[in-house]
Amino acid sequence: MALPACAARALGPPLQPERRAPARTTCPRRHSRVEAELAASRPGSVAASVLAGPPRGVSRGFNSQPLLDEPPKASSSLAGAARTSLFALLPRSRRRRMHDLRRRWDLGSLCRALLTRGLAALGHSLKHVLGAIFSKIFGPLASVGNMDEKSNKLLLALVMLFLFAVIVLQYVCPGTECQLLRLQAFSSPMPDPYRSEDESSARFVPRYNFSRGDLLRKVDFDIKGDDLIVFLHIQKTGGTTFGRHLVRNIQLEQPCECRVGQKKCTCHRPGKRETWLFSRFSTGWSCGLHADWTELTSCVPAVVDGKRDARLRPSRNFHYITILRDPVSRYLSEWRHVQRGATWKASLHVCDGRPPTSEELPSCYTGDDWSGCPLKEFMDCPYNLANNRQVRMLSDLTLVGCYNLSVMPEKQRNKVLLESAKSNLKHMAFFGLTEFQRKTQYLFEKTFNMNFISPFTQYNTTRASSVEINEEIQKRIEGLNFLDMELYSYAKDLFLQRYQFMRQKEHQEARQKRQEQRKFLKGRFLQTHFQSQGQSQNPSQNPSQNPNLNANQNVTQNLIQNLTQNSSQNSSHKENRESQKQSAGQEQSDGNTSNGTNDYIGSVEKWR
């Protein structure tokens, strides 16, 4: 067998392979064809496996001898020598690549075979299981081994429907928490959404005695008039979330207009170009960044009616509201916020017509901010406004000389500030607690007769909860905020008593309404009953003449007759009593009878 000239020239000079790529021959197509033929003639090669197609089951070439770097033994024939010489011409990298391709093909064939057989066995087992379940539920329609085509289609449809429902459930409610909640909703009744959000007992023991006027907070807020809601926003109490609820999550005849990318919303009264809400997200920081009680009470009237003459200003009602938080959690949250670079240097702290001097209110840091400060340094600063911030922002600072600490002794100053904060908080139109979001929503809705669109969400995991402190540090934080601790205890007691009072009042009103409805239905029944009896006794009388009057007369006569008979029967059984007591008792019973009759008839006439 003669070799082609191109192959002879290729076999001539480079008898031993070089590390670099071989030189390009003059006839590349023939050379490629020869290499392909030689590779195809070798058993277990890549080309042979391609021509033979994918193996069935385990490939024969999977356990074949690996391709060595040395050429195979030369056969006695000229073709074998040519194949050996041509294979030796291939570089080592190409030989390894051909070996890898052959091995990958064999591994892929084995994996496909195993996967095919595994799926077939799984499908067979699933068919038997579903067939058994189907036969148990729907009766002996078909045996497990001999199921007709309709049964197979029905089983397939049920399986596909189940898989589709699982996929939809995972898309709508990912995770296991929502699924567990839904299972609990099917297995247990709906719980009270206002029940013990802080995982404490639903019933508490009041510590303070409040009057009915302190507990009953119902504001006649006229959004179409001149009344104004003023939100006092204390740092790190959840006021940002509550402020967004006021402008985005409340049902109004004319909702607030909130544009994308802007923090402020336009909250106008119906038919007027005047706001009904004074807050960060409606009017901005018009009285300064996080203005306190002292600043707002002197600034808000001037900002709202500043351009009008004093004689033309309307008589407004300013309804102040705020949110409080546990002092330790609020203190840690403010420290984390300051650690990230917050300063609140834009706060004015205006008191008595002027801001404090640098001697009255020194700074705790020297740079642009206090970012990265440790907790110990944050607590060591004696001029830190985070200490007792809630008491300071809710009290009237003019009573203690504003920020001048030399006006009165420290003990007296603390007492005046605490009493002022308690008084202002108690007389506010509304205040809520961060730890009771749903109760806060309920009391706001009952106070202002305004409903929210979606319920509030209780977030128990915050930045402050992620801070791990020991008992010693917690005691020190409580000592630095001892006024806030006492104020929060007072506010929590008042808040929970108000909530309990409003819930009881709501239940009493609902019970009274049901009783009136039952009384009305009973009166309607008695009216129709006596009217039908009157028509049967007097068939000659025309019932169209004054039917209401005749019915009312019949009702009154029958009720008086029945009550008189009952009272006479009861008085006949009192033989052992004295005559004076008996006559007095009879007069009292007659009076009660007449009063009960008149009340009952009046209620019937009212509902008619």
Cα separation, 352 vs 360, in Å, equals 14
Beta strands in 296-341 (DSSP E): 318-324
Cα angle: 399, vertex 317, 273; to 5 degrees: 125
Total Cβ atoms within 10 A of residue 34 = 19
Total Cβ atoms within 10 A of residue 39 = 18
Is the Cβ–Cβ distance between 280 and 233 less than 8 Å?
yes
* Catalytic pick among 31, 233, 245, 290: 290
For 580, counting Cβ atoms within 10 Å of its Cβ (0-12 exposed, 13-18 middle, 19+ buried), the class is exposed
Is the Cβ–Cβ distance between 210 and 497 less than 8 Å?
yes
Is the Cβ–Cβ distance between 228 and 276 less than 8 Å?
yes
233 as an active site residue: the answer is no
State phi, psi for 385 to the nearest 5 degrees: -75, -10
3-state secondary structure of 266: strand
Cα separation, 72 vs 83, in Å, equals 9
For 478, the token pair is 């409580």
Residue 549 CA from chain centroid, whole number: 59
Look-up: residue for tokens 């195993």? 114
E strand or H helix at 228: strand 228-232
3-state secondary structure of 275: strand
Question: CA of 176: how far to CAs of 193, 243, 370, in Å?
Answer: 22, 32, 42
Is the Cβ–Cβ distance between 292 and 309 less than 8 Å?
no
Catalytic residues: 290
